[in-house]
Amino acid sequence: MNAALALFKRDLVLSVRIGGGLGLTIGFFVLVAVLLPLGIGRDLALLSRLGPGLIWLGAALAALLSLDRLFQADAEDGSLDQFLFADAPLELLVLAKAAAHWLTTGLPLALAAPILALLLNLPMEQWFGLIVSLLLGTPALSLLGAIGAGLTAGIRRGGLLLSLLVLPLYVPTLIFGAAAASQGFGAPEYLLLGGVSLVALVVGPLATAAAIRLHVS
């Protein structure tokens, strides 16, 4: 547990200190929300109807943008090999890194959602449901994305391969997340969205640890 906690703190510090981390993710998220209305046009009713789905799409792409750094630096400096010999189980270390990724991507995206909702002409009564849906669903983005990051660790310029591996895994989260935000707080889709995150909490660390062991061997 001490090793996992130390790894969690280290990733948080690196994400804040290294340029292109937290700021790049939030900037990309906001940029998507600003540019999409320009492409849709002046139809405010259409924009309001598509808003939840567009915000969720931006959140998924923003999370994907930062996934290539999840294990890449560890693979380059040899830390990834040492994970196998740490006192903590590899699955727990993976969970610590995924938690740090969510705390620096998913949580800020959820907090920034009201600003994007305003830009996309979403009614104010939908804002709370949108934030809750992001808080419920974005952990799945980090946990499932870690699987692709583990498979592509050590591969130079593996961003395209990472996207191809991860985007299909994001489909259920995007469907339930956009549906929940559109229906409003209390809709059944919130339970499904939470269920996806719970499944990802179990499957993500196990699959990622297996991918890392395959990479190291």
Task: Give the Cβ contact number of residue 184 at 10 Å.
Answer: 17
What pLDDT shows up at residue 30?
A: 78
Supply the DSSP string of 35-93, one letter for each residue. Answer: HHHHHH-S-HHHHHHHHHHHHHHHHHHHHHHTGGGTTHHHHHHTHHHHHTTSSS-HHHH
When pLDDT is averaged across residues 3-10 and rounded to a whole number, the result is: 83
Task: Give the Cβ contact number of residue 144 at 10 Å.
Answer: 28
pLDDT band of residue 120 (cuts 50, 70, 90) is confident
**Is the separation of the CB atoms in 59 and 134 below 8 Å?**
yes
Task: Please state, in angstroms and rounded to a whole number, the distance separating the CA atoms of residues 97 and 114.
Answer: 27
What pLDDT shows up at residue 104?
A: 87
What pLDDT shows up at residue 34?
A: 77
When pLDDT is averaged across residues 20-29 and rounded to a whole number, the result is: 71
To which residue do tokens 């939030």 refer?
A: 26
- Does residue 127 surpass a pLDDT of 90? no
- Does residue 19 surpass a pLDDT of 60? no
pLDDT band of residue 194 (cuts 50, 70, 90) is very high
What pLDDT shows up at residue 190?
A: 93
Task: Please state, in angstroms and rounded to a whole number, the distance separating the CA atoms of residues 86 and 90.
Answer: 8
Closest CA to 59 of 144, 149, 150, 170: 170
**For residues 189-205, b (16+ Cβ closer than 10 Å) or e, as one string?**
bbebbbebbeebeeebb
Mean pLDDT value across the chain? 84
Task: Please state, in angstroms and rounded to a whole number, the distance separating the CA atoms of residues 153 and 130.
Answer: 33
- Over residues 75-87, the pLDDT tens digits come to 777 777 788 777 7
pLDDT band of residue 10 (cuts 50, 70, 90) is confident
One-letter amino acid identity for 142?
Answer: S
Highest-scoring range by mean pLDDT, 3-12, 24-33, 123-132: 123-132
pLDDT above 70 coverage of the chain, percent: 94
To which residue do tokens 């889709």 refer?
A: 189
Q: Name the residue with higher pLDDT: 158 or 61.
A: 61
Task: Please state, in angstroms and rounded to a whole number, the distance separating the CA atoms of residues 97 and 215.
Answer: 17
Structure tokens at 212: 């890392």
Q: What is the distance of C-alpha 3 from the center of its chain?
A: 23
**Is the separation of the CB atoms in 123 and 62 below 8 Å?**
no
